[in-house]
Chain A
């Protein structure tokens, strides 16, 4: 398929290597400056702080592995891990499935596409605003919409957003509801598939399903992969929605104590920034492992044309 590139690789002289290095430096220059100038310093600072006792207002004191061993016995940390893993494992697949399904539905052949797409994106626009807390109470509260609907069929519902047993589910619904971002990325990905491929397939007599399986799906795998990696990272870092809906407490009774929320409570609520930094690096390790596994597995199902 790519005989030209094969040829190039064979000819890949030292001059070419050096030229590519130079070009890479040029293209990556802004990123390098940002990495070394802005990003890396604070990151390394937080790594150092994870080995200290640091209350933000006074200089940190080196405390060795204290913060790290403390994690072993921190019940609230374990609770927050449980909450976060549940959230990631349930909401990410649901959200991606919905986003992909609607992207396929909205790709072409429906009248008023622009309207639908925008409407479906609306929830993502208000996902993190102050209004969302009120909104969610109105829908999932004791006197909320869901319960009013249930009352019509004679079911006496509970306060979904405020019962420890169901509060997390309402946040999962909230995340799925804001599926706009992955949907847009899917739509962009669908648009990138050359129309010529479909035309050729049509000529060969391939039906819709076969076109989907043999063209759409494989060519979309890089985008599916991207969405998967990113949504997992984002889900692990979920903060704003949980913060707004629970008023920053992670309540009721820690049932929505997301990892980042706990980290924030330790760092800013309790001035325990040394421990919060250690928590941040633990999160990085967890997310890093997930991402690495994702990349490793991608070899088996993601299709690149290069």
Chain B
């Protein structure tokens, strides 16, 4: 009883330690991959709800029919669980082959060698139908680590039923400024007698907000080298605007915004018809339509200064793990999802308006209702160049931003102090990851 336990301690500890400590590179370094002539099984993972699971599984079945040699095992999780599981499996060298990726995490995985360089699998995965802008959103250090599935673009969703009910004219979104937005919102609040608020939310809860406000003033949130380059003034302007929105009654209270944040897009103030306008991605309009049951319209966001502040944001990407033993097959599958009309006919716009131009053209005639509205909106807007991908170390920017925004909106700190502290903390995380 004496000696053996200690030996076993050593063995057990070493076994798990050594796995974590060793850096075993993926099974596919260097040369271009080839399709295996033996049957291959791929693991594919994504986040999303039951509806997405259903469509993706149908696409998988279609793919397996076309490529009988390749078997796909789909795994789906909710957003938070997805990242926990992906980090854990990747750390334990047991990553799935094909991954759904998000803009926030792309560089964090790519920079640390967890993703496969897709250009090596060119033969199986075409990129010609994507424009350079779209491709750039999947590049880190000029390497194509991921391909965008769909794109979205920022908008103001308005509930036209409420506008009609309270006799407020829908403003002209070609010219309006943030001051106009606040004015219209206030008018709605007043005319409803406080029953609703004009605007749900205020800027500062999503990573896209500081990007937009920085671009309005001719800057950017991150520069080319992946450092924080937003000027404190842009943040101060953003938060000051939000504070005024709240205090004037044009917008909802800060606490209601916090509640909306945890409620998710389809259970919040706007979705329950208690506000008439909200900033959202155009692709969310279908979900919002279902939740409100009202007539909705997409307006371009107001702007002060630079009219090209808006930008295309990839809703998500497909990427291949560097640990995959079958990169050729993985690339073939991604190709099917992104470039094959047969795949697109099943998946449609569930993951966003396709970034692949050909596919979008292929799908467009059949789009109806809010899907069509979202696609039409995309053609209307004139966004500027895409911002650089969130750098390695910046994956936590959203909760960080929300924390500072809440401190400002609950008046625990001033916009000026928050701006300085936010920039410092964000840059600190990026430096620590280098």
Contacts and interface: CB of A to CB of B under 8 A. Distances in A.
Q: Do chains A and B touch in the complex (CB under 8 A)?
A: yes
Interface of A: 21, 25, 32, 36-38, 40-42, 44-45, 48-49, 54-60, 133-134, 137, 141-142, 158-159, 161-164, 245-249, 251-254, 265, 268-273
Nearest to B85: A268
29 contacts: A36-B12, A40-B9, A40-B13, A41-B16, A44-B9, A44-B17, A55-B112, A57-B87, A57-B91, A58-B112, A133-B262, A137-B263, A142-B256, A159-B259, A162-B254, A163-B255, A245-B262, A247-B261, A247-B262, A248-B80, A248-B399, A249-B399, A251-B402, A252-B254, A252-B406, A254-B403, A265-B396, A269-B396, A270-B396
B259 A161 contact: yes
A36 B12 CA distance: 6
B406 A268 contact: no
Interface residues of B, number: 51
B403 A253 contact: yes
B80, B88, B91, B258, most chain A CB atoms within 10 A: B258
Interface in B267-322: 267
B21 A162 contact: no
Q: Which label, helix, strand, loop or mixed, suits the secondary structure of the B interface?
A: helix
A133 B261 CA distance: 11
A37 B433 contact: no
Contacts of A58: 23, 112-113
Contacts, number: 130
Contacts of A40: 9, 12-13
A245 B256 CA distance: 14
A249 B403 contact: yes
B324 to A, nearest CB: 15
A41 B433 contact: no
Nearest to B257: A162
A163 to B, nearest CB: 5
B108 interface: yes
B298 to A, nearest CB: 26
B83 A57 contact: no
Given A56-B87, A57-B112, A59-B22, A249 B253 contact: no
B217 interface: no
B264 to A, nearest CB: 8
Contacts of A141: 259
Given A48-B17, A159-B256, A269-B395, A57 B1 contact: no
A25, A60, A142, most chain B CB atoms within 10 A: A142
A254 B114 CA distance: 31
Interface in B156-173: none
Contact of B433 (A55, A60, A251, A254): A55
Interface string B21-46: 11100000000000000000000000
Contacts of A134: 263, 267
Given A55-B112, A58-B113, A37 B396 contact: no
